[in-house]
Amino acid sequence: MTPVTPDVGSPYVDPVRRDLMHRKARRDVLVASASLVAFVVVAVVFVSTAPGWPTVQELFFSGESFSASIGEVLSAFWLNVRIFLIAEPAILVLALAIALVRGTSAPVMFPLRVIAAIYTDIFRGIPTILLVLLLGFGVPALNSDGITNEPLVWGTVALVLSYSAYVAEVFRAGIESVHPSQRSAARSLGLSASQTSRYVVLPQAIRRVVPPLLNDFISLQKDTALVSVIGPIEALRQAQIDSSFTFNFTPYVCAALLFIALTVPMTRFADWLNARAAKQRNAGGSA
């Protein structure tokens, strides 16, 4: 069995070696900081000295236009947030159901497995924006009683259908990553197939796929802007409206900053989960 490498702060590490490692860590931080500062300075100088920079600054970074549009764009951005909060739980439920159906081996479930496979193939193959257009304009055109003609509803449904196909594959990969011995051990203890799936397989599978799930939902938050192509006034559409009145593109920058403010913390959280999972795997493999 391979011995575990002691941590830098462990009392088992030689003091001289520990001091060298701390010095190297400080040196690496200084070098990285200096490199970042140098890169930012070069980028700023390059952009600010470009011949067209005054025009770009006026069209994209106008303080007056920013102050005039940020309130309306922020108000419209809450629609993006609401779409996300509605679509995310629906995607989780539908995707998990699809993954479970595709993972079952019962002969009676064969028709459902075929339907689930066809669903995944179709909705992963259609671009999300095209699906938004098809549902947003196609379903209301039916003029059917009992079916809403609200574009916002069908835009959200399109996001749910599209992302469920992707997330279902993430769930399925997590379920298949659980070793068969886990199922065998659970069944030997008297658990039924459904109990094995619920209490043994799914908890492990979901824990393993949390980082990729977060990445998918980061993409979902950005793609809520796609519903603007069928009419709802969310952040992107509001920015477009403001820009059409002023012939200035700063409102688009406002919208971009709002999306960044929401997605960057989610991205960093996903990176932290990935790093923690990798550290746990490495610790388990070296034990």
Give the range of the structural domain holding residue 165, as residue numbers without chain letter: 82-234
Query: Which of 136, 208, 200 has the alpha carbon at shortest distance from 172?
Result: 208
Torsion of CA 102, 107, 110, 116, to 10 degrees: -20
Is residue 205 within 8 A of residue 171, CB to CB? The reply is: yes
Q: Does residue 132 lie in a domain region?
A: yes
Q: 116: domain CATH number?
A: 1.10.3720.10
Question: 114: Cβ–Cβ under 8 A, 6 or more apart, which residues?
Answer: none
Q: Is residue 182 part of a domain?
A: yes
User: Using CA atoms, how far apart are residues 38 and 36, in angstroms rounded to an integer?
Assistant: 5
pLDDT digits (tens, 9 = 90+) for 214-234: 888 889 999 999 999 998 899
Tens digit of each residue's pLDDT (9 = 90 or more) over 149-172: 898 999 999 999 999 999 999 999
Query: pLDDT tens across 124-151, in order?
Result: 999 999 999 999 998 888 888 778 889 8
For residue 283, name the pLDDT band (cuts at 50, 70, 90). Answer: low
In a domain, 35, yes or no: no
Q: For residue 286, is it within any domain?
A: no
The per-residue pLDDT for 12 is 55
Share of the chain above pLDDT 70, in %: 93
- Whether 72 maps to a domain, the answer reads no
User: Is 229 contained in some domain?
Assistant: yes
Q: Which long-range contacts (CB under 8 A, 24 or more apart) does 277-285 make?
A: 277/208, 277/211, 283/4
Domain-located, residue 164: yes
Per-residue pLDDT of 179-190, as tens digits, reads 888 878 877 888
Say if 102 falls within a structural domain.
yes
**Count of structural domains, the chain:** 1
Q: Is the pTM of this model over 0.75?
A: yes
pLDDT for 284: 59
